[in-house]
Amino acid sequence: MSTEAATNSTPGSDDTFSACWDDAVAAHGPHTFLVFQQDDGALASWSYTEFDRHVEQVATRLHEYGVGPGDAVHLALRNCPAFVAIWLAVSRLGAWFVPSDPQSSARDITVQLERTRPALGVCAVGRSETYRLGASEISLPIIEISETIFDLEPGSILLSDATRPPTPKPAGTDRLAVMFTSGTTAQPKGVVLTQRNYAVVAEVMAAASNLRPEHRWLVTLPLFHANGQYFCFAPAIAVGASVALTAKFSASRWLQYAYSLRATHTSLFAAPMRMILARTPANAPRPAMQHVWFAQTIGAEHYLAFSELVGCRPQQIYGMTETLAIVTADASNPPIHNSIGNAVGGRIIQIVDPVSELECNPGEVGMIMVEGERGVDLFSEYLDDKKTTDNSFLTVGTQTWFRSGDLAVAEPSGLLKFMGRADDVIKVAGENVSLTEVEAIVAQAPGVLEAAVISRPDALLDFVPIAYVVPNDLANPPTVVALRTWAEQQLPPQARPREWVVIAELPHTSVGKVRKYQINSQK
């Protein structure tokens, strides 16, 4: 099955992200750009003009450290104003940045530094020992910052008051970032992104969310991940809207943040949504949000409960780090809890058999193929990995298709339902079972905080589902008998887990996705 959005033009294809920021400053200078909420309650805000002054000061400091066009800056920072300023400064310099998990081990840092060979590293003072250990075999200047409001105050090591010599303006084809994927089913890959990629995602996502200058995004998920950059900051810059940024995600305080920071828009994953439902105090204030994106699958009960909390019905979307802007979105009225809708924003997609790559009929589970242009509305390449890059793209005539590795199925309504990664759909006695859908149901069982479902080979049935369950209360977990009874009431026979494992926690990525390839080590 193939679907195409109303138009397949590529907005912003001749632009750079650097120019996008400059245009926003010129058009919306006095308007609030960033509001930052620290863990200690301190609050600060900057207009576009004020923040641009800091971007130039940071760009000058980076230049003083030898960062120029084509050079990389490696970041190991949690959410903070300095992260945003460095990102924009790197863009202005024609350099590129490598945002990494601030909780990375020394070994992970070493691997990333060896692969990207940056001219400069930036880390937090409180985690500098680990960072410096990871960089010990590499000649690398390192700036240590506080990850607080004070990083953009006078006297900060990150700011320079010197005058920076002129540098050439970056081109759309210039590299702007290498983003390492979250690695839920395999080890992370380095996704190479261009200036034009970020300019295009800014315009497309602003249009997709009907964003206006008076709107405000709430960003609580880690900024080193694509979600906050692609779906929140970039479109805000495109239209002159504002962003409320918190230092970290807190399920128990999320609703308070949304209310007190006057957020109108946000973007989440299903796992954090379930955590918010489980941890929000009964007396938490209720925001009146206008727009919520979410990705991954959530059960109907959780969906309705979350809708009541935030004041609107969230819209499920589908996209990847590699696709930049979303590929599909549910535009139903009202939105549906388990539909990723159809192609949006000029996208052209096909649902194909994962083996033959022939187009699927409605009702058949197939892989999502996304048409686009590399370095424009698709990523450029995988870092230093030509084989994986070549295997990920298919050229047919003048069209380039990206093999997503994700599965979907067209419902009788014509809307698409996300089925998970290729490894997340198994055959149980000849019947297709989406482990992603099973997880969403199991997570709604009484006493369950979250769940992950994997497959196990079976001599009789080919494969069977195995459920790993984290209880709301570790001291009083649900019994296996209760879980089996729930599954019998909620799931068809082939989808019911054949084994239940109650564990204290699941191995997560920074945005709450479960790293399934690590799950057996968590027993």
118's tokens: 């940056």
Give the pLDDT score at 419.
86
Confidence class for position 2, pLDDT limits 50, 70, 90: low
Window from 172-186, 357-371, 399-413, 471-485 with minimum mean pLDDT: 172-186
Tell me how far apart the alpha carbons of residues 403 and 394 are, in angstroms, rounded to a whole number.
Answer: 7
Phi, psi angle pair for 234, to nearest 5°: -60, -50
- Cα distances (Å, whole numbers) of residue 446 to 22, 253, 472: 51, 23, 9
- Decide if domain 429-522 falls under CATH 3.40.50.300: no
167's tokens: 């540098």
3-state secondary structure of 83: helix
Cβ atoms of residues 179 and 190 within 8 Å:
yes
Tell me how far apart the alpha carbons of residues 274 and 266 are, in angstroms, rounded to a whole number.
Answer: 15
Which pTM was predicted?
Answer: 0.85
Domain borders along the chain are: 429-522
Give the pLDDT score at 202.
97
Share of the chain above pLDDT 90, in %: 72
Give the pLDDT score at 433.
83
- Cα distances (Å, whole numbers) of residue 457 to 244, 426, 454: 46, 10, 10
The pLDDT tens digits of the residues spanning 305-355 come to: 999 999 999 999 999 999 999 999 999 999 999 999 999 988 999 999 988
H or E element, residue 488: helix 480-490
Give the pLDDT score at 276.
95
Tell me how far apart the alpha carbons of residues 122 and 133 are, in angstroms, rounded to a whole number.
Answer: 14
The pLDDT tens digits of the residues spanning 26-56 come to: 999 999 999 999 999 999 999 999 999 999 9
**What torsion, rounded to 10 degrees, do the Cα atoms 163, 168, 169, 174 define?**
-120
